[in-house]
Amino acid sequence: MRTLRDVVEGLYVSPRYEGIESSIRFELNHLELHGLDDYLLTCYDKKMYDTENKTNSNIKYLLEMTDTVHLGNVTTSGGSWPDLDVDFEHEKRDQVKQHLKEVYGAECVASIGTVSFAKAKGVFKDVARVYGLDFKKSNDISKLFPDMCDSIQDALDGSQELCKLIENDEEVAEVFDYARHLEGTVRAIGVHAAGVAISPGPLTDIVPLFESKGEAVTMFDGPTLEDIGIVKYDILGLKALTVISRTVDFIKETTGEVVDIFSIKEDDSDTYDIIKDGNTLGIFQVEGSKALRDFAAACKPSCIDDIGAIIALYRPGPIGLGALDEYILRRNGTHRAIFDIPEFNYIFEDTYGLLIYQEQLMHLSGDMCGFDDIERDVLRKATAKKDRVLLKSLKDKFVAGAVSNSGQDAKVISALFDRMEEFSRYSFNKSHAIAYAYITYQTAYLKVHYPSEYMAASISCEPEPEQQSIYMSDARRNGVQVMPPDLNQSKEDFTVGKDGEILFGFSSIKGIAGAACKKLLMLKPYVSFGDFLIRAYYIKGINKKVIDALACSGSCDTFGYRRSN
């Protein structure tokens, strides 16, 4: 397998190598010792260049990843492996996994296993079901469990009603006793929906594997793999990316226009207006419940940052803390949009003084408390993972740093940390939110300016007939006709007709299989219904049943025939 050393040694003839031979050898050994050579090789392959050369890497200079002159040996510090989330069209996810196997070797790539453990509310319900406790009774009891309780003891400490139930109901007390004994045991194993592990050598030399549906899967979960130094990728399949791709293809087919989705202007008022109007069916991340559509409309987005905030906020945590209402009030000027410590409001200007993103917490801890990059990341992870022991130690450092670094009052900062800790548990990754906001904007833009092509793509990518019907109704509300199949214009899936109407595909007709669809497409165009019958007569697979199905679906109306005839 190709290594960083192979690439570097191949460049010993480069003029850049002169004078830095010893530094290169030192750095290669250093990176290999700490398991970072593969990471730098990946950066090189992905063209992730570093203009400033902040790590003072001689190898980056040799590989022309930077033009900044090296100064002595490379510098490294602690931290953890990056968490790599990459989104692809959902129909191409398997192709990406196959590509990884071809690049790194099939024996070095596997899906990541998941392990779920019996926890407070879940283990109670499991035991209650096995014990034969009445379903309604067990369900009502489970609703008494406080939110965010880590154990049954936490639930009892936080709910007097649960304690009274155990005292007064012997059967319930016995269920709780069994549940206590089962807490923390493995409940189930599975396969991560997107996680892929990649190792420098055969995975079987490092971790145990099991097989699921013909795929190798690690018996260790993601966090354990990270602890032993295996790189974890999340290869995510997004239907929205497939919809965008198909829309662009439809536009080219119907109008000849080539749309570069990455070059569309970001200040199109009509695009933001469709979100403000609540006309968001089919638009990525904002098409869900009426409550979500109403929240997005109330936020009155006018830029990508506004859309990012909508995506980051509309989740159970911020909703439960009342952050949505406060954001709307600040966004619309009803409440004062200033951070609690005004001198650091510049960090929170884009979110109207509210802590929404993990990056904001990291930025504040650096500027106000003097945290370095590693300490900032530790704080981010501690809040995200709700590590209360680590958070307690970080709070002391946070307060002391704010006092010594920027002259803050210790009591004020202590209270601020407590408030921020609660919300930062639900804070979102800004780079993720903004990346998704761009997709939201792109889908909204396409729906506004190319409604026929966009809705046809949305319907064709939707596997559920009920949701397809909802999209068809929305298309009609937006002035787009949805018509039966057309023998000359239709394709296997939904498509756009010559007059901008959405046409059903042949595959949506009951009684017409994939093989028949391909033959119908191969034979067209048809001059007349008679022409179609003559051609079909000689083709195996287009029989009377298929012809009847076409006629009944309206596919032959294009020749002047009607189903009523």
Q: Please report the pLDDT score of residue 71 as a whole number.
A: 67
**H or E stretch including 173?**
helix 170-182
Instruction: Give dist(CA 82, CA 513) in Å, integer.
Output: 46
Q: Please report the pLDDT score of residue 35 as a whole number.
A: 73
The pLDDT confidence band at residue 490, using thresholds 50, 70 and 90, is very high
Instruction: Give dist(CA 447, CA 549) in Å, integer.
Output: 32
Extract the tokens encoding 396: 């002391």
Extract the tokens encoding 425: 């548990």
Determine the structural domain holding residue 125 and report its residue range.
119-184
Buried b (16+ CB within 10 A) or exposed e, 82-120: eeebebbbbeebeebbeebbeebbeebbbbbbbeeebeb
Q: Please report the pLDDT score of residue 326 as a whole number.
A: 94
Q: In what order do the strands lie in the sheet with 482-483?
A: 482-483, 502-503, 495-496
Instruction: Give dist(CA 221, CA 542) in Å, integer.
Output: 51
Of 380, 397, 427, the one marking the end of a domain is 427
Both 178 and 101 in a single domain?
no
Both 420 and 352 in a single domain?
yes
Q: Is residue 416 part of a domain?
A: yes
Both 219 and 111 in a single domain?
yes
Extract the tokens encoding 429: 């990754």
Q: Is residue 507 part of a domain?
A: yes
Both 383 and 322 in a single domain?
yes
Both 111 and 215 in a single domain?
yes
Q: What is the DSSP letter of 69?
A: P
Place of tokens 């756009």: 496
Q: Is the pTM of this model over 0.75?
A: yes
Place of tokens 């453990």: 117
- The total domain count for the chain is 5
Q: Is residue 448 part of a domain?
A: no
Both 322 and 400 in a single domain?
yes
Both 373 and 351 in a single domain?
yes
Q: Is residue 78 part of a domain?
A: no
Instruction: Give dist(CA 97, CA 441) in Å, integer.
Output: 28
Both 514 and 390 in a single domain?
no
Largest CA distance in the chain: 89
Average pLDDT over residues 359-369: 95
Both 124 and 109 in a single domain?
no
Both 359 and 372 in a single domain?
yes
Extract the tokens encoding 343: 């001198």
pLDDT digits (tens, 9 = 90+) for 154-193: 888 888 888 888 888 888 899 999 989 999 898 889 999 8
Both 88 and 232 in a single domain?
yes
pLDDT digits (tens, 9 = 90+) for 4-35: 999 988 888 888 888 888 888 888 888 887 77
Say if residue 151's pLDDT is above 70. yes
Extract the tokens encoding 112: 């990541």
Q: Is residue 472 part of a domain?
A: no
pLDDT digits (tens, 9 = 90+) for 37-82: 888 888 888 888 777 776 678 888 888 888 876 667 776 666 666 6
Q: Is residue 219 part of a domain?
A: yes
Q: Is residue 276 part of a domain?
A: no
Both 88 and 198 in a single domain?
yes
Q: Is residue 534 part of a domain?
A: yes
